[in-house]
Amino acid sequence: YERLDKDNAVLLVVDHQIGLFQLVHDIEPDQYRTNILAHAAIGKVFNLPTILTTSSETGPNGPLPKEIIDMHPDAPFIKRTGEVNAWDNSDFRAAVKATGKKQVILAGIVTDVCTTFLALSLVQEGYTVFANTEASGTKTVGIANDANARMRAAGVHVLSMFAVVCELMRDWRNTPGSPELLPFFDQYYSSYGFLARGHAAAIDRGTILPGESE
- Let me know whether 179 and 73 are in one domain: no
- Let me know whether 208 and 108 are in one domain: no
- Let me know whether 185 and 142 are in one domain: no
Per-10-residue mean pLDDT, the chain, length 214: 97 98 98 98 98 97 98 98 97 98 98 98 98 98 98 98 98 97 97 94 90 83
Q: How far apart are alpha carbons 181 and 31 in whole angstroms?
A: 19
What residues contact residue 66 under an 8 Å CB cut-off, 6+ apart?
Answer: none
- Let me know whether 34 and 90 are in one domain: yes
**Has residue 3 been placed in a domain?**
no
**Has residue 21 been placed in a domain?**
yes
Burial class (CB in 10 A: 0-12, 13-18, 19+), 62: middle
DSSP of 110-170: SIIIIIHHHHHHHHHTT-EEEEEGGG-B-S-HHHHHHHHHHHHHTT-EEE-HHHHHHHHH-
* Residue 114 annotated to the active site: yes
- Res 79: pLDDT: 98
Specify whether the CB–CB gap between 37 and 75 falls below 8 A. no
Domain final residue pick, 138, 154, 170: 170
Number of domains into which the chain is organized: 2
- Let me know whether 34 and 85 are in one domain: yes
pTM as predicted: 0.95
Q: How far apart are alpha carbons 155 and 140 in whole angstroms?
A: 23
Domain enclosing residue 179, as ranges? 171-213
Specify whether the CB–CB gap between 53 and 63 falls below 8 A. no
- Let me know whether 70 and 175 are in one domain: no
**Has residue 4 been placed in a domain?**
no
CA distances for 19 relative to 63, 143, 177, angstroms:
7, 19, 35
- Let me know whether 35 and 133 are in one domain: yes
- Let me know whether 30 and 129 are in one domain: yes
Share of the chain residues as helix, strand and coil, in percent rounded to the nearest 5: 50, 15, 35
From 114, 151, 158, 182, active-site residue: 114
- Let me know whether 95 and 189 are in one domain: no
CATH number at 74 reads 3.40.50.850
- Let me know whether 104 and 183 are in one domain: no
**Has residue 32 been placed in a domain?**
yes
**Has residue 2 been placed in a domain?**
no
If we measure between CA atoms, which residue out of 122, 165, 98, 140 comes closest to residue 14? 122
Q: What is the dihedral sign for C-alpha 26, 77, 97, 85? A: positive
- Let me know whether 185 and 84 are in one domain: no
**Has residue 76 been placed in a domain?**
yes
**Has residue 124 been placed in a domain?**
yes
- Let me know whether 77 and 30 are in one domain: yes
**Has residue 112 been placed in a domain?**
yes
